[in-house]
Amino acid sequence: MKTTIHTESAPAAIGPYSQGTAFKELVFTSGQLPLDPTTMAFVEGGITEQARQSLSNLQAVLEAAGASIDSVVKTTCFLSDMENFVAFNEVYTEVFGTENAPSRSCVEAARLPKDALVEVEAIAYIK
């Protein structure tokens, strides 16, 4: 049986989807945008600030499900412009490190919701 994940510590869904879904010991998050969960506005700044906020929102959803950044096995990262790849990687490495980092796909998207610079989703296990 699946369980819908919801936390006030991450932005509310802006469409007909949940922040995440747990099934048995797995957690599947929806893409996390760089929205401040309180104001539902983008954080100020560029790719670095937006990446940090997206990953912070991802962490909040994972924790609400009983998982954590350390239990992530796969991420999918969407960038509005691959010119931001190096800067995104710097923030991503701060969060996930390089040892035992999860599998990852990182692609350029023609356009992200609300014209975000980045969106990140993950699959993790519940510890």
Determine contact, residues 76/82, Cβ cutoff 8 Å. no
Nearest to 28 by CA among 95, 105, 117, 120: 120
Active-site residue, from 43, 106, 109, 126: 106
Tokens linked to 111: 């356009």
With tokens 């990687």, the residue in question is 89
Neighbours of 24 (CB within 10 A): 10
Determine contact, residues 19/3, Cβ cutoff 8 Å. no
* Catalytic residue list contains 77: no
With tokens 């936390």, the residue in question is 7
**H helix or E strand, kind and range, residue 87:** helix 85-96
If you count them, how many residues does the chain have? 127
Known catalytic residues? Answer: 106
